[in-house]
């Protein structure tokens, strides 16, 4: 459903529905945690999904230069042409495919790109396949647009690997789209090339769109990674969503982008024009500088190595203390199993109140996440060790009661 064919009456229904519906019973959990903590000065916050390092100094200097040059006005709706060209070149270089800069649309954050992706392709009651556990916005945005969420839980004892047969079964029933995320938030699971190829083939066989969220694609730890860009020449219903938020530690700047099929571009541009007007101007020029600067790219690599070290530390500390966690291959999170007869919300609320460690309940990430909790790597190794000690202390105390 292109936006050019969307009637005002339909959009009125969407916005009215969004007003009425309760998107998630989970969206205030972190606030509850802070309210339950007896001594907030002793808090270890492993809940927030953003890096703990600051914007790189060269990017701060570039932002000042951009502002002083007066580049503070509206840009083209799709974004600054030079940035779109740099993004296309980045993907072309990494994956050996030709990406047309015209297929790149810069957006105010990846979440905005996800919304416009779904809004341009689904009708009310269209099925959207979401392998869980997954980023909560996949489910919420689908519901806002009156799509029908079809969760596919991971294979048992597979370290959260996607159930390819389960996805195929839903697609055969007429689902309109599949949303995948690799590395996955919250599990850090990476979809290998064999499974990625199967998902693409299943989408092609059933005429479904594939939306690939690649926000964590730089955070990969010693394994092979494949992007949906590899399949762009083979299938024309692939949408790639990415962001500068995590790699450049500029989450508050709200800058993402999408690579879209030619036939969807007019609809998405129209959505962007009416919802956003354009992406933030200064952020775009800073991102352009980052893509072209070998110094900044080296800084990103150093931060990824630090996250890798932190992953190893936290994984070892949790498992050695009886809190089982699989080893994520990418991303900035661990997703340990709860070794107690508690649901994830109760576990995380008590952990925050009794030990001052903030984590996110697994149920926030869909049916496949219950029984687990998410902790971020956005703290020093020393803090992560302390957090593991506190978590284990809570578990041991709860077991003894």
Q: Report the CATH number at residue 283.
A: 3.40.640.10
pLDDT score recorded for residue 28:
54
In-domain check, residue 2: no
Burial category of 358 from C-beta neighbours within 10 Å (exposed 0-12, middle 13-18, buried 19 and up): buried
Do 146 and 286 share a domain, yes or no? yes
Residue 44 neighbours by CB distance under 10 Å? 20
Considering 293, 310, 330, which residue would you say is the last residue of a domain?
293
In-domain check, residue 66: no
Domain around 129: 73-293
Question: With the C-alpha atoms ordered 312, 318, 322, 326, is the resulting torsion angle positive or negative?
Answer: negative
pLDDT score recorded for residue 37:
57
pLDDT score recorded for residue 22:
45
In-domain check, residue 301: yes
pLDDT score recorded for residue 185:
97
Contact 33, 47 (CB under 8 A): yes
In-domain check, residue 3: no
Do 283 and 312 share a domain, yes or no? no
Measure the N-to-C terminal CA separation of the chain; round to a whole number of Å: 56
pLDDT score recorded for residue 24:
47
In-domain check, residue 16: yes
Closest residue by Cα to residue 379 from 299, 280, 311, 294: 311
Do 159 and 286 share a domain, yes or no? yes
**CB proximity list for 112: less than 8 A, separation 6 or greater:** 254, 256, 275, 276
With vertex at residue 231, the alpha carbon angle to CA 128 and CA 152, rounded to the nearest 5 degrees, is 25
Considering 260, 277, 293, which residue would you say is the last residue of a domain?
293
**CATH at 323:** 3.90.1150.10
Total domain count, the chain: 2
Do 284 and 316 share a domain, yes or no? no
Do 288 and 168 share a domain, yes or no? yes
pLDDT score recorded for residue 9:
38
In-domain check, residue 85: yes
pLDDT score recorded for residue 329:
97
Do 251 and 310 share a domain, yes or no? no
**Averages of pLDDT over each 10 residues, the chain, 401 residues:** 39 47 48 57 86 94 97 97 98 93 97 96 96 95 96 90 94 96 97 95 97 97 96 96 95 96 96 96 98 97 97 98 97 97 95 94 94 97 98 95 74
Do 310 and 381 share a domain, yes or no? yes
Q: How far apart are CA 182 and CA 216, in angstroms?
A: 7
Contact 239, 264 (CB under 8 A): yes
pLDDT score recorded for residue 156:
84
pLDDT score recorded for residue 26:
47
Do 313 and 280 share a domain, yes or no? no
In-domain check, residue 303: yes
Do 147 and 166 share a domain, yes or no? yes
Burial category of 68 from C-beta neighbours within 10 Å (exposed 0-12, middle 13-18, buried 19 and up): exposed
Q: How far apart are CA 82 and CA 92, in angstroms?
A: 15
């Amino acid at each position: 459903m292109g936006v050019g064919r969307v009637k005002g009456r339909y959009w009125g229904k969407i916005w009215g529905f969004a007003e009425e519906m309760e998107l998630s019973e989970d969206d205030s959990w972190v606030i509850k945690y802070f309210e339950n903590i007896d001594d907030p000065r002793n808090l270890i916050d492993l809940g927030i999904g953003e890096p703990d390092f600051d914007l790189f100094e060269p990017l701060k200097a570039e932002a000042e230069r951009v502002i002083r040059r007066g580049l503070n006005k509206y840009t083209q709706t799709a974004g600054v042409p030079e940035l779109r060209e740099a993004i296309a070149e980045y993907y072309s270089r990494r994956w050996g495919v030709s990406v047309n800069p015209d297929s790149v649309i810069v957006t105010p954050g990846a979440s905005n790109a996800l919304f416009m992706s779904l809004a341009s392709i689904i009708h009310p009651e269209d099925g959207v396949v979401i392998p869980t556990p997954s980023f909560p916005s996949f489910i919420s945005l689908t519901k806002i647009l009156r799509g029908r969420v079809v969760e596919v839980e991971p294979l048992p004892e597979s370290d959260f690997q996607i159930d390819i047969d389960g996805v195929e079964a839903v697609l055969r029933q007429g689902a309109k789209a599949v949303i995948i995320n690799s590395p996955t938030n919250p599990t850090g699971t990476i979809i290998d090339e064999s499974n990625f190829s199967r998902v693409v083939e299943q989408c092609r066989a059933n005429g479904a769109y594939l939306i690939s969220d690649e926000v964590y694609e730089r955070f990969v730890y010693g394994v092979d990674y494949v992007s949906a860009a590899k399949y762009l020449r083979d299938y024309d219903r692939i949408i790639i969503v990415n962001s500068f938020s995590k790699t450049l530690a500029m989450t508050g700047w709200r800058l993402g982008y999408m690579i879209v099929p030619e036939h969807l571009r007019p609809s998405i541009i129209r959505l962007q024009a009416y919802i956003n007007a354009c992406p933030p101007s200064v952020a775009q020029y800073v991102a352009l500088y980052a893509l072209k600067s070998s110094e900044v790219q080296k800084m990103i690599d150093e931060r990824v190595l630090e996250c890798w070290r932190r992953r190893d530390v936290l994984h070892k500390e949790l498992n050695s203390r009886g809190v089982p966690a699989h080893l994520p291959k990418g991303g900035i999170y661990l997703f340990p199993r709860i070794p107690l007869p508690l649901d994830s919300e109760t576990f995380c609320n008590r952990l925050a109140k009794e030990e001052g460690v903030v984590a996110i309940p697994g149920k926030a990430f869909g049916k496949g996440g219950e029984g687990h909790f998410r902790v971020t790597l956005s703290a020093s190794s020393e803090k992560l060790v302390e957090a593991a000690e506190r978590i284990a202390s809570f578990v041991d105390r709860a077991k003894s009661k």
